[in-house]
Each structure stands twice: as structure tokens, then as C-alpha cells.
Amino acid sequence: MKKNLVVFASGGKTGETGGTGAENLAQKLPDRVLVFISNHENGGVKHRADTLGVPFVYFPGPYTEQGYRELIEKICAEMGTDKDDLWYALSGWFRQVFWLPPERTVNIHPAPLPLFAAMWGEKLHQSVWEAYGRGEITEGEIVMHFVTPKIDDGPIFFRFSLPLSGIKNYDEYRETVRIIEHNFQPRMMELVMNGDISWDGRNPESLRI
């Protein structure tokens, strides 16, 4: 198999925090992951890339069509690959995405959509737990969807409902979400890359599962 999966992950700004989703993808799909990309130069994603021996690219922006295009063109030139062979996993990527092909770009969102759209990171998890505490929801959710320029608006192909009544506190909720994400993200990503899940990148009704 070609190493043709590009993983975007923000992670923590410094030290070893964050980036566990990217690490998990590389561990579960070692023959597919080509490179980690982060908007933090020396954060958790860089640390995990170095530990795993995965190439790392720092992407400070601009987060525009031109910025993403130049980034991918640079990666293709340096790694000897073709952009038409690449797939993209957003795994805790806290930036809006442009230019990347919608039919080959996938995001994982650890909360119900569309209720908690356009949110990410710790703020997202806190918002879900607080909504549960107010009695507004009874379940969390892990969602995977294709990516379009409008945040969290692409076709959804995977939903995993998480009942919250049996979870004792916020820390247990966060850890449970992480475990579910790590279990399903590599499996679903592989199905997408193998063509078992697909869409044409334009019409949501073309989604095939």
C-alpha cells in the first residue's frame, strides 16, 4: 500500500499534550500515514511524530485556498508523491479547511452535529458536558464526515451515540470519547480510502456506504 494519508492535527502548543488521534492513526495504519501536519511547531504532534518516526510539517498558515495548495504542493515535491493520490484526515485540526478535495478529506467530530457545529477542542467537550448537566441532551456522539469549506457541514457517514447517564464526571466523559475515537477513526478512514464509503465531493445524495 502507498503511504498516502496526510494527517492534520493541532495538538498542544508545547510539550507532549494532544496529538493522540494522529498517533493512533499512525499506529493502526502504519502503511498508510505519510505525514503529520500541525499549526504548532514544537507541540504534542511534533513530539509524537518524532517518537513514531513519522515525517512532520509545521503549517503556520495562511489558512486559505492558496495556503493549503502551496502546503500540499510542497509535500508532494519533497516526498515524491502526487496530490491526486493523497487522502486527508482531520484529527483535532482547529482550523478551517479550504482547497483540499472534499471527496478525500475526512473529519472526526466528538459531539452531536449539527447541534455542536463549528466548535472544537476543550471548549467543545465542555459544552457537551454542560449541556448534559442542564438537561438539554442525554447522549454525546462521535461523528465522522467528509469535509467541505463550510465547517462541519459535509456528508456524515458515521455516528456513534454515547449515553451520558452512566458517566460519573467530566474527566471520565473525555476519556470515554477518546477511547471511542481511537477505536473507530482508523477503521472508518480505511473504509473511505478503500472506496467502501464514498461521495462525489459535490452532491450529498451521492454518499455511498
CATH number at residue 157: 3.40.50.170
One-letter amino acid at 62 equals P
pLDDT confidence of 98, banded at 50, 70, 90?
very high
Domain annotation covers residue 204: no
Domain containing 83: what range? 5-199
Domain annotation covers residue 205: no
Domain annotation covers residue 188: yes
One-letter amino acid at 116 equals F
Q: pLDDT for 32-73, tens place per residue?
A: 999 999 999 999 999 999 999 999 999 999 999 999 999 999
State how many domains the chain has: 1
Domain annotation covers residue 101: yes
Whole-Å CA distances, 157 to 43, 91, 139, 153, 190: 31, 16, 18, 12, 13
> What letters, b where the CB count within 10 A reaches 16 and e where it falls short, cover 89-127?
bbbbbbbebbebebbbbbbbbbbbbeebeebbeeebbee
Q: pLDDT for 138-155, tens place per residue?
A: 999 999 999 999 999 999
Query: E strand or H helix at 134, and its extent?
Result: none
- Give 47: exposed, middle or buried? Use CB within 10 Å, 0-12, 13-18, 19+: buried
Domain annotation covers residue 181: yes
Domain annotation covers residue 29: yes
Domain annotation covers residue 161: yes
Domain annotation covers residue 193: yes
User: Could you tell me which of 29, 141, 15, 201 has the C-alpha nearest to residue 7?
Assistant: 29
